[in-house]
Every structure is written in structure tokens, then in C-alpha cells.
Amino acid sequence: MSKTLLIGIDGGATKVSGWTTVINEDMTFQLGDINIVKEYREYEENMPSFIPVNILVQLGEMNENDIDLTVEEKLHGKSYMYATADVIIELAQRVGADRVMVGIGMPGLKSADKRGIVALANGPRMPEYCKTIEARVEAAGIKMEKPIHHLGSDADYCGIGEEYSMDGLFSQVENSYYLGGGTGVADALKLKGELLPFDQAKTWIAKAWEMKNSEGKSMERFASSSGIQAIYSEFSGIPIAELNKTDIYPPQIMDLFDEDLSAKRTFNDVSYNIAKLLFERIVTIYSGWHHFFEFVNSNRADLGEHHPYRSTLLDSIIIGQRLGDLLEGSKGKNVFYEPFLEFLTKFIVESPYLDAKFKKHYLKDEKFNEDLIKTSKLREAPAIGAGVDAYLTYHGE
């Protein structure tokens, strides 16, 4: 008897992770108990010395619809595509399924049909991404129940995961903002009871990675694991390669807070900037863009002050992935969580233009209402979101 397996894939810069996805009777979703991870470096096609094509060249070719892949991109890209296909194959074989339905989240700008990657800052372009994966899967004797409809974004899939997972935090509220930090940074919105992809709101709100602070640092730096590690590297003078070799990542840096001035400076920097980012979010949603940040891309169109969600007060602010773990783990240590709340309080209290309704909602006893801050337990939200998206694309809600 034919058996179709629903799979959610979360692709990243160094590896790809796939999960079986289970549909519950109440139409919530959860990850199954089988996870397969493949690192691109496991493949002979992988080139450790690979240097991406200049991003401006990539964007120019994308806009001209004339992608000219280098020999190195073609070879290096195969390690990405083969790894993804092999995750699907191994999951199907482990479960004993002969048919699969697959959703995939991958970084990078997508092709017109959303099935290829035509610009990627830190990797190879792969216009034939889905086509190559499908061919390798079917060559292994496993049928695609449906073609991979499109490649999604990590950020959108975090939002979908939080909305449809049985453990998700979006499903419990009408209005919420999600900030996830892992390899990169992901933000998601739910407003007026509906998920709102940032691409549909780009005229009035910017993605976190698009913005930079007054020192010219991208806000992604303060939310992502590699960014926080890089901050510590700069303050301490210890090269990132050495930090990796000695397993010094954000949790270990946080543990050094009391005895290491560089660790203290790192988390003061992180606490301040994450607070400033969340302050910008709640203010922009409530009363429009106020130019708290500049844009990484100086040519990005400015944001409009008016939008359909003005006067909305958030029911929750969700912090997810490794950033959520870090925030939760810092409670009571006066390292990250408490300073972050103090900065957030200060921004609201000292703001000259926020009205009493706003301040009453976000402040409690003259401090930021920490009941509004939730940390997500869905470390694999993008994988759940990918599986859910594949299912709903073909079966509707």
C-alpha cells in the first residue's frame, strides 16, 4: 500500500536538516521522531575554499534574468542539492514510505518560479535547486507525491511553525511579533489574527537584517549566534576560528560574564540592541516608522508611516531559536534578560511621543511588562513551517 510521508526541510549555510512531520486530528502539526542532518562538507563536490560571486554581480544578473554560473558554483552547489535530496531519501527509507511531499526553507533570493536560488550572499547560486533534488529522489525509487511547489524563507516558516504547531505560540494570540536567532535572524508577524509575511508589509516595516544601528552594524549581528560570537571576538581579540576550536559560543560567552570584561561588553551590546530592535517593532506597528535605524542597503526605499495595522498593541513578543534559549537561560543572572528589559523600559519611558494607551499596555509598575515576552520552545520552527506549508499549498487550510 502506498504511503506518503510529509517532510519539512530547514536548509542553512553549512548543513540541511529534515524532519518527518505529523498531522494531528485537530489539524495542528508536530515533528515526528526522525531527524536526518547532512553537512555539505560530507560531499566530494563541496569546496571548502569556495568564494561566492560578488553579491552586486549576482543581483545584476538576477535583475537581467541572465544567471551565469561559474564552474565552482556548479560543483559546490551540487553538495547543497545532493545533501538535501539525501535527507529526503533517508527519511523516506527510515519510515518505509515510497512517496513524499516536501517543503523546503532555504536562504537566498528565489527565482521567478520560486524553485531555484538566484542570489545567495554566502553560497552558490542554484537555479535548478528543486529540479535537481526531485531527480535524485526519484532516481532512488521514491516518488514525489507533488513537485516541490516553492522554496520558502526561514522567517516565514518560523511564523507558520508557531501558528500551526501544537506547541506554537502564535496560535494563542491575535497580534504578535516573532524574533528568532540562529545561524541568521528571522522575524515573523501575526496581526489581526492572520500571519503577515514581511514581504507583504515591506512598504512600512523592514526585516531585522535590513537595518543597521548608529554604528553601522546590521541588527542580524545581535540576534544570530555567529554575530554574537563575532562581537566577542572583536572585543577579546580572539579569532573566530580559535573560538570555534575551543567551543566558545554565545552560551559559553554568557558564562564568562562575571570574570571577562569582553563577555560583559558583548552582552551589554546585545541587550541594548535587541531592546532597541523590539522597541522599533512595537512603535512601528503602533504608530508607523520613526527612523530608529538606517538601512544596510542605502538604496532601499524608505518606509511609509501609514499602514493598516496602526494602533495595534501586541499580545506577545516571541523570542525563538537559539536566541530564545539564550534569553531564557540568562534569567536571574543579570546578564542578558534583566538588562534587556531595563533598556526596553527606558526607551518607552523616555519616549516623548508615545501616548498613554501605549505606555499603559507595555509598562507594568513602571517597568516593561515581562508577561508579554515569551520564549519559544520550537527550536525547529522552520522545519515544521516547511512541512505545514507544503501540505497546505496542495490541500488547503
Q: What angle do CA 311, 312, 314 make, to 5 degrees?
A: 145
- Output the DSSP codes for 278-312: HHHHHHHHHH-----SEESSTTSPPPPS--TTTT-
Asked whether residue 160 is domain-assigned, the answer is no
| Helix, strand, coil share of the chain (percent; to 5) | 40, 20, 40
Q: Are residues 305 and 348 in the same domain?
A: yes
Evaluate if residue 308 carries a pLDDT over 90: yes
**Banded model confidence at residue 154, pLDDT cuts 50, 70, 90:** confident
Residue 370 shares a structural domain with residue 386: no
Residue 95's pLDDT is what? Answer: 93
Q: Quick one: pLDDT band at residue 26, thresholds 50, 70, 90?
A: confident
| Rounded average pLDDT over 231-245 | 95
For the residues 352-365, what does the mean pLDDT come to? 94
Amino acid (one-letter) located at 153: S
For residues 277 and 205, membership in a common domain is answered with yes
Domain presence at residue 17: yes
CA distance 7 to 22: 9
Q: What is the mean pLDDT of residues 19-41?
A: 92
CA gap 32, 30 in Å, rounded:
6
**Overall average pLDDT of the 368-396 stretch:** 92
Average pLDDT over all residues of the chain: 94
pLDDT at 25: 85
Of 1-15, 31-45, 56-70, 111-125, the one with minimum mean pLDDT is 1-15
Looking at the chain, the whole-number percentage of residues with pLDDT higher than 70 is 99
341 belongs to a structural domain: yes
pLDDT band (50, 70, 90) for residue 395:
confident
Question: Which string of DSSP letters, residue by residue, matches 99-144?
Answer: EEEEEEE--SEEPTTSSSEEE-TTS--BTTHHHHHHHHHHHTT-EE
Query: Is 285 domain-assigned?
Result: yes
Is residue 107 scored above 90 in pLDDT?
no
The torsion angles phi and psi of 310, rounded to 5 degrees, stand at -55, 150
pTM for the full predicted model = 0.90
Domain match, 206 and 75 both? no
Q: How confident is the model at residue 1 (pLDDT cuts 50, 70, 90)?
A: very low
Total domains, the chain: 2
Residue 76 belongs to a domain: yes
Q: Are residues 340 and 308 in the same domain?
A: yes
Mean pLDDT, to the nearest integer, of 19-37? 91
pLDDT band at 397 (very low <50, low <70, confident <90, very high): low
Q: What is the pLDDT of residue 12?
A: 87
Domain span holding position 10: 4-154+382-395
Taking Cα atoms as reference points, which of 388, 337, 397 lies closest to residue 9?
Answer: 388
Residues 121-140 have pLDDT tens digits of 889 999 999 999 999 999 99
Helix H or strand E segment including 153? none
Residue 164 lies in a domain: no
Q: Does residue 14 surpass a pLDDT of 70?
A: yes
CATH number where 39 lies: 3.30.420.40
Q: Which run of H or E residues covers position 29?
A: strand 29-39
Instruction: Kindly state whether residues 196 and 272 are assigned to the same domain.
Output: yes
Same domain, 315 and 348: yes
Instruction: Give the model's pLDDT for residue 290.
Output: 94
Same domain, 136 and 200: no
* Same domain, residue pair 127 and 198: no
